[in-house]
């Protein structure tokens, strides 16, 4: 089974200048009484800062959730390495390698080695993806294609002779999905339901997604007494606002509402994710961040986005 955790760890896993929160309403000041000293003009409210997803490299070690109901898998181990770069003017590139070994008494060991490269335009209008996979050292057919958003529909074109197809929108690509999640969390919304295309599996699937967003946290993660996600408990990110998110993926338009899988994670305001849990129902995988390198100098395009992007 190929895990699709990488699409949301940005980076998602998960990148652009985010629209600021609405400024508070300011009422008109009362008219001064005759003879009263002139008062200084009130200062305009300061808008909330735009949200910029961090350019970063992150490493997550994968293990089986021993506390879950792992009926079909006896052991699991692996690693995800993500390199996320770009800004809202130039677009965003994510390089991912994910190696996972699942073992069960019935089927034995299954080793999957997935490598993925994606590019998403800064305004979320175009998406390019290429994925290669080895399963027990046997290559599968690569998935290579593009997707274009026309506003009310998305058209997907795959290399290799497959016929292009169009799906009614709106449909979000991964980085734009991350943007909407953070916007919703900052606005205090508790849920978000959208369609998503990420090029995973055979590149032909659109997913219905439903996110449940918890309350804002601003201190170190609750697991500070453990060794899990150690990089998130150090430096500036330890005090960054973050939200617990439970994100379920469903087959598009299906009548039944049992999710294909559910991804749990702590979403930080800069798009970095921690406390990962990928739940397939029969078993669950935990992700422990062991390395986080953030490029603090990146993001010039995000700062310029409000003034218009220049070559």
Average pLDDT in the 58-84 region?
Answer: 89
Domain count, the chain: 1
Q: Determine, yes or no, domain membership for 301.
A: yes
Q: Determine, yes or no, domain membership for 288.
A: yes
Nearest one of 42, 55, 111 to 87, comparing CA atoms = 55
pLDDT of residue 206: 92
Q: Output the pTM of the full model.
A: 0.79
pLDDT of residue 218: 80
Average pLDDT in the 280-299 region?
Answer: 89
pLDDT of residue 28: 37
Pairing between β-strand 171-172 and β-strand 108-120 as defined by DSSP bridges: unpaired
pLDDT of residue 108: 87
Say whether pLDDT at 246 is over 70. yes
Q: Determine, yes or no, domain membership for 39.
A: no
Spatial separation of the C-alpha atoms in residues 81 and 76, rounded to whole Å: 17
Q: Determine, yes or no, domain membership for 127.
A: yes
Six token digits for residue 143? 């998935």
Nearest one of 287, 284, 256 to 274, comparing CA atoms = 287
Average pLDDT in the 209-225 region?
Answer: 78
Q: What is the pLDDT of residues 21-49, one digit of tens each?
A: 222 233 333 444 555 454 444 444 444 55
Q: What is the pLDDT of residues 147-158, one digit of tens each?
A: 999 888 999 999
Lowest mean pLDDT among 67-81, 189-203, 227-241, 283-297: 67-81
pLDDT of residue 140: 93
Residue 243 structural domain? 5-18+52-307
Six token digits for residue 192? 């978000």
Residue 124 pLDDT level (bands cut at 50, 70, 90): confident
Average pLDDT in the 142-148 region?
Answer: 96
Report the 3 state secondary structure along 25-66.
CCCCCCCCCCCCCCCCCCCCCCCCCCCCCCCEEEEEEEEECC
pLDDT of residue 300: 55
Say whether pLDDT at 55 is over 50. yes
Spatial separation of the C-alpha atoms in residues 101 and 287, rounded to whole Å: 14
Q: What does the mean pLDDT of the chain come to? A: 81
Say whether pLDDT at 127 is over 70. yes
Report CA Rg, the chain. Answer: 22
Q: Determine, yes or no, domain membership for 67.
A: yes
pLDDT of residue 303: 55
Q: What is the pLDDT of residues 249-264, one digit of tens each?
A: 998 876 667 899 999 9
pLDDT of residue 44: 41
Q: Determine, yes or no, domain membership for 32.
A: no
Q: Determine, yes or no, domain membership for 34.
A: no
Q: Determine, yes or no, domain membership for 37.
A: no
């Amino acid at each position: 089974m190929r895990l699709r955790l990488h699409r949301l760890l940005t980076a998602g896993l998960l990148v652009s200048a985010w629209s600021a929160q609405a400024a508070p309403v300011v009422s008109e000041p009362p008219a001064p009484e005759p003879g009263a000293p002139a008062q200084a003009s009130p200062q305009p409210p300061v808008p909330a800062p735009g949200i910029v997803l961090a350019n970063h490299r992150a490493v997550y070690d994968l293990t089986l959730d021993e506390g879950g109901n792992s009926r079909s898998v006896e052991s699991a181990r692996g690693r995800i390495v993500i390199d996320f770069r770009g800004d809202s003017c130039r677009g965003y590139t994510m390089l991912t390698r994910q190696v996972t070994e699942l073992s069960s008494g019935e089927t034995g060991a299954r080793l999957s080695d997935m490598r993925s490269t994606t590019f998403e335009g800064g305004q979320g209008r175009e998406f390019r993806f290429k994925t290669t996979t080895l399963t027990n050292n046997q290559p599968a057919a690569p998935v290579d294609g593009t997707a274009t958003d026309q506003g009310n529909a998305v058209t997907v074109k795959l290399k290799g002779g497959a016929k292009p197809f169009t799906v009614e929108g709106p449909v979000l690509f991964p980085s734009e999905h991350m943007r909407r999640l953070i916007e919703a969390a900052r606005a205090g919304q508790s849920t978000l339901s959208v369609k998503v295309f990420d090029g995973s599996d055979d590149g032909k699937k659109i997913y219905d997604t439903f996110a449940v967003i918890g309350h804002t946290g601003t201190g170190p993660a609750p697991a500070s007494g453990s060794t899990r996600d150690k990089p998130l408990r150090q430096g500036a990110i330890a005090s960054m606002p973050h939200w617990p998110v439970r994100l379920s993926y469903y087959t598009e338009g299906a009548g039944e509402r049992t999710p294909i899988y559910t991804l749990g994670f702590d979403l930080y305001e800069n798009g970095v994710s921690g406390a990962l849990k990928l739940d397939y129902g029969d078993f669950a995988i935990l992700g422990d961040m062991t390395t986080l390198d953030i490029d603090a100098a990146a993001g010039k395009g995000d700062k310029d986005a409000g003034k218009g992007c220049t070559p």
